[in-house]
Structure 1
Amino acid sequence: MKSGIHPENYRLVVFKDMSNDEVFLCKSTAETKDTIVYEGTEYPLIKMEISSTSHPFYTGKVKLVDTAGRVDKFMNKYKKFAK
């Protein structure tokens, strides 16, 4: 392989899904300041809002997150089109 074209900081990193506290270990070059002890070893931690363990497409469960009544506002606006 060519030297000098690959990132220097390619390392094992723990990704944590904050919505369901699922964690998994993977390699990444993403920068982070947080660390976590995973299976007895300390790794850099990257916090995510959603992953394949919580995304409705992969889980098959629809999870409706309503922020500031936006869903109700949408339903009221388009109620007249429902049959």
Structure 2
Amino acid sequence: MAKEGIHPNYRDVVFVDQSNGAQFIIRSTVVTKESIKLDDGRELPLVKLETSSESHPFYTGTQKSVDSLGGRVEKFRNKFANLRKKA
């Protein structure tokens, strides 16, 4: 049994990824001003996200590493190496 007054009020909340429309229903304590009506008739609080694991390049496998971009860091160091020596 949960003790009264010490545990947060968890409830189902819909998180929507606005970049691709993916929806997640997760139990959360987040306070929202918007709600959404689901296909099953439930009306749940709504949180809109700019990105989530469904659209973020790290999770989708589309992230590029610095090394594969032609050695950007090394190009930068070479370009400005002379300035460092003059100072």
Residue segments in structure 1 that go unaligned for 5+ positions in a row: 64-77
1:4: Cα distance to partner?
2.0
- Give the aligned partner of residue 7 of structure 2: 6
- Give the aligned partner of residue 26 of structure 1: 26
2:75 pairs with 63, 74, 81, which one? 81
The SS at the match of 1:57 is helix
1:38: Cα distance to partner?
1.9
- d(CA) in 1 for partners of 2:75 and 2:24? 44
- 1:28-47 counterparts in 2 under 5 A? 28-40=28-40, 41-47=42-48
- Give the aligned partner of residue 66 of structure 1: none
More helix by share: 2
| Greater radius of gyration (CA) | 2
> What are the superposed Cα offsets for residues 23-49 of structure 1, whole Å, 9 maximum, x if unpaired?
011100000011111232111000111
Aligned identity (percent) is: 51
- d(CA) in 2 for partners of 1:22 and 1:52? 10
TM-score by length of 1: 0.68
What's the Cα RMSD here?
Answer: 2.5
1:18: Cα distance to partner?
0.7
The SS at the match of 2:58 is helix
